[in-house]
Chains A and B, each alone.
Chain A
């Protein structure tokens, strides 16, 4: 297991470096560079000074390495300083946002908790809905429940989140008035009442994201259960006289969960992509809406950093999925 883990970890590093290069080059070589934003009436020497201040007059490879250093060394050090009150990172150049002229990381740090609460609850809800539906659908294959379950899964899987989101707003906010249409970002949870308010404003984004994920996961759960239900060991377990509950919930479920667990881990990055849509629709001030704002404002450092953070999340969760699979299924470890 240790060599397996180490090998996977070592493979992740070149992948991340390559992705960082792709993101850096894509953003950096694109035509919308900061130099083109400066009016032509600005004299050349002033223009040079502005470019120097933005740090974009160095050759490409130096800027790339500097960005990597800032991302992996300066910013974590700053984080360390902020937590422990030390001053190791003093005087080091940080990644500065063009829009707010302040370092990028604290801005992202402010927004990450909102994204994580909404996404976390949504995913948890999705998994909690999906697993029982998938299990029961597979157990009673071709029953009425299964027919409806697979149909709803297909619909939930096909209808894009931005449309379910708008439908939910139309039905639950405009029509019935149960939930607010927009997320109140200034709300601080202090007592029971504000907690309820927070729950109500989180309800719609969480439901939209949760249902979309539940649909995908329940499809996997169902097919994985079906694959195991016809195996020999199930017949053996029944032949031993075990009751159905034990057979299904212990023998079949445990084996069927192995691929589903990895699918759940692999789905986490894509839910961050879905969060970009719901955050813009409902006005949650998370990192998804930060990305859209940065793109509209041509804020290249912010865009680079956020895109790379998304990439890191994907690679990390892929790694977790791999390791989980290796842990749960010994056959994978010795390939």
Chain B
């Protein structure tokens, strides 16, 4: 008896086990560090790095400068400091990614749980999901932005309007994968004994879902959410890249890249910096998603 207790490791919590497995995935750790640095750069950067506002004459003198101590990434064609704009753009890009992902995951979980739990809703909701999957997303998003941008800007202002429209449009068109994953999980969970037990003592569907089903679909939803952030950031930058995203004075990384295209041959760094920022963000988020998937999978964990 004593030998067995000596041989087994001390019991670890679920969170510790997941973290131990996650740390083994080199790419995921790299992703976490890079994403953390990018978030710090764009959230805390403006507190440290705030070049003073230039007058028109000063701006004219300081346009198209190369990298120097005063401007580590140079200045653009209007004399604005590129690093400052990169920070501001990063804030918007990351915010778009996270908020759009939250909307998509909320919708996806709602549809998935309803379809999985209530048999009568399953057919119609899954048909709806299939239909959304068959929509041509990029063309539709472009059309939505083109048609609604001015109208919404009138109520919320050009900046907030563009943000709300784009975030909402991306969220509404990218919930389908989450819904499918959640539905599959719920269908399996619904047949488990503890759900049956809960139902037999008279728990309402609402309580069964919130108390017993939702906590058990958190793991797959987290993986889907991570990958959703990457997808939302790419979609937003595609829209901005095609000139149908945010207004110029409210930049995102995609918008900066779009503006840099004109000067690409003379100042290649203007497309490389924002492009690199987008690519690194997406790459690290994808690696984190990969690592999370492995860490949350009980078949892989602990081996």
Contact = CB atoms under 8 A, between A and B. Distances in A.
B119 to A, nearest CB: 18
Interface string B276-296: 101100110011001000000
B238 A159 contact: no
Contact of A166 (B134, B150, B244, B264): B264
A99 B270 CA distance: 34
Interface residues of A, number: 44
B72 interface: no
A291 to B, nearest CB: 6
Contact of B282 (A30, A160, A169, A291): A160
Nearest to B138: A273
A269 B148 CA distance: 26
Chain B: interface secondary structure?
helix
B146 A295 contact: yes
Given A154-B287, A158-B230, A277 B241 contact: yes
A32 B257 contact: no
Given A19-B135, A311-B134, A314-B135, 11 more contacts: A154-B283, A154-B287, A155-B279, A166-B275, A170-B264, A174-B265, A272-B136, A276-B242, A291-B142, A292-B142, A307-B140
B147 interface: yes
A162 interface: yes
Contacts of B275: 160, 162-163, 166-167
Interface string A294-326: 011010000100110011011100100000000
A153 to B, nearest CB: 11
B242 A277 contact: yes
Nearest to A18: B131
B237 interface: yes
Contacts of B137: 273
B244 A295 contact: yes
Contacts of A170: 264, 268, 271-272
A232 B99 CA distance: 46
Contact of B242 (A169, A292, A303, A311): A292
B147 A162 contact: no
Given A154-B27, A307-B143, A314-B136, A163 B242 contact: no
Contacts of A163: 257, 271, 275-276, 278-279
Interface residues of B, number: 43
Interface in A149-175: 151, 154-155, 157-160, 162-163, 166-167, 169-170, 174
B281 to A, nearest CB: 9
Contacts of B125: none
Given A154-B286, A170-B268, A276-B138, A32 B146 contact: yes
B130 interface: yes
A330 to B, nearest CB: 23
Contacts of A155: 279, 283
Contact of A307 (B131, B139, B148, B287): B139
A31 interface: yes
Contact of A160 (B134, B135, B234): B234
17 contacts: A19-B135, A27-B143, A160-B237, A163-B278, A166-B271, A174-B264, A174-B268, A276-B138, A276-B242, A277-B242, A291-B139, A291-B142, A295-B143, A298-B146, A303-B139, A303-B143, A313-B136
B150 A310 contact: no
Contact of B264 (A18, A169, A310): A169
A18 B124 CA distance: 13
Contacts of A23: 140
A93 interface: no
B24 interface: no
Given A170-B271, A269-B136, A159 B283 contact: yes
User: Could you say which of B140, B144, B265 has the most chain A C-beta atoms within 10 Å of its C-beta?
Assistant: B140
A65 interface: no
Nearest to B241: A162
Nearest to B260: A166
Nearest to A155: B283
Interface string B226-246: 000010001001100111100
A295 B135 contact: no
A158 B282 contact: yes
B151 interface: yes
A32 B147 contact: yes
Interface string A44-61: 000000000000000000
A15 interface: yes
A17 to B, nearest CB: 10
A26 interface: yes
A303 B136 CA distance: 12
B164 interface: no
A250 B248 CA distance: 56
A280 interface: yes
Interface in A1-39: 15, 18-19, 22-23, 26-27, 30-32
Contacts of A295: 142-143, 146, 244
Contacts of A31: 147-148, 150-151
B217 interface: no
A293 to B, nearest CB: 11
B265 A307 contact: no
Interface in B23-52: 27
